[in-house]
Amino acid sequence: MAGVAVIAVLSSATPATAQGRADQKAFFDLYKQLVETNTTLSAGSCTQAATQIGTRLKAAGFADAELVSFSVPEHPKEGGIVATLPGSDPARKPMLLLAHLDVVEANRADWERDPFTLIEENGYYYGRGTIDDKAQAAIWSDTLIRLRTAGPRPKRTIKLALTCGEETTFAWNGAQWLAQNRPALIAAEFALNEGGGGRLGADGRREALALQVGEKAAQNYTFTATNPGGHSSQPVPVNAIYQLADAVKAVQGYEFPVRFTDTTRAYFIATARTGAPVMANAITRLLADPTDQSADAIVSADKAFHSTLRTTCVATLLKAGHAENALPQRATANVNCRIFPGETVDGTLATLQRLAGPAVMVTANQPVRPIAVPPPLNPAIVEPARKLAAKHFPGVPMAPFMSTGATDGVFLGAIGIPVYGVPGMFVDRDGSGTHGLNERVRVRSLYDARDYLFDLVRAYAG
């Protein structure tokens, strides 16, 4: 899951949403079942979760022909489902709602609560996937159920794709499989996905909303230094560990150049309007001249801004040596890069090879995912999101931003479907435990996001 924008403008707090409405109770039942279905790669089953959602959709009136389950024989537990709610106007191209069912691993011994039991405590729902991404999957599924049962039919056909494999680079990926093998099934004018959201302050007040318009590409590279080795009692200057360390330090000391897309330029313009004077001035200077190093130093002191401005590469794993009394024969490092739109995997590889020097081999790890295609800042997408945000979250600014993380949206962008990460789900400043321990979402935030996103889907669907 990608992070949210960082514009700090306070708004008034509102009381927690009551959960007394019948439609909220039905949603909670769906959400609870989804969170409590283990969908980790190691021990869970996305196929089971997708089947459960399919059963609910069918009970709501979806025909068998409108529900397509998919998987491959090699990965029977990593399946998903595509549902279609036909629109009344065939001239309008469909829209697609995308969410992933899989979650990051969660070790019960490390958690304060059972990660696969939805627990309500102190105004929060706790559990793995309560945010990433089962909140989105539950809201999208619930939205289709409500639209099917309540009527009237939307003008635009709405498709829902719930997939598996987003959280693990080497896993079988359902969104990728659909894009490559069943593109007609998910064909759409645009898609709504995770990646946007909202940020809460320490006091629970809503600070900012973000509409994700574009993202970086995640790519891993392996650095390898080799040496004949020998006895540690007779060391020599050429040492695989030292060679690797020099290469990794070179990566640490290198800054990729500042770049802007239409989205990041709009984001920084909005940030400058509301930020502290020193930061606002530095942002304005950097927008005017991306090579202004003094302005860059000020703006990049904020780690989120720093990553939004450029490609970043960082060492994340190290492995070296084979015995405590032997000179190392091999030393390797994994370098994780987040590549800015418009730059390439091969171009980043060439930069890393230059930094590492001839003594260290650098290779791009498989799989090589597509480079994200930045979607346009389409007013037909941006303005409904902004207008409804003003209604549901009055006084909270909304800005487009580029995610420094990565989502399955890259696979849809590769086949010509622009993907937008929707705002609406407010999380705590620390990310609410996403990918970490004790993942949680505020009860109020979940139900408020559900109402906002239901209205947003209806606005886009006519």
Q: Which domains does the chain have, with CATH numbers?
A: 22-215+373-461 (3.40.630.10), 217-256+311-364 (3.30.70.360)
> Are 96 and 161 in contact, with CB atoms under 8 Å apart?
yes
Residues of the chain with pLDDT under 70: 1-19
Res 5: pLDDT: 38
Return the DSSP state at 37. Answer: S
Measured CA to CA in angstroms, residue 178 lies from 2, 58, 99, 372 at distances of 22, 22, 13, 17
As given in the structure block, the two tokens for residue 55 are 């059963």
- pTM here is 0.88
> Are 350 and 362 in contact, with CB atoms under 8 Å apart?
no
Q: Which residues neighbour 118 within 8 Å (Cβ) at sequence distance 6 or greater?
A: 31, 32, 35, 36, 125, 126, 127, 130
Res 7: pLDDT: 35
Res 430: pLDDT: 87
Q: What residues does 124 pair with on adjacent strands?
A: 121, 442
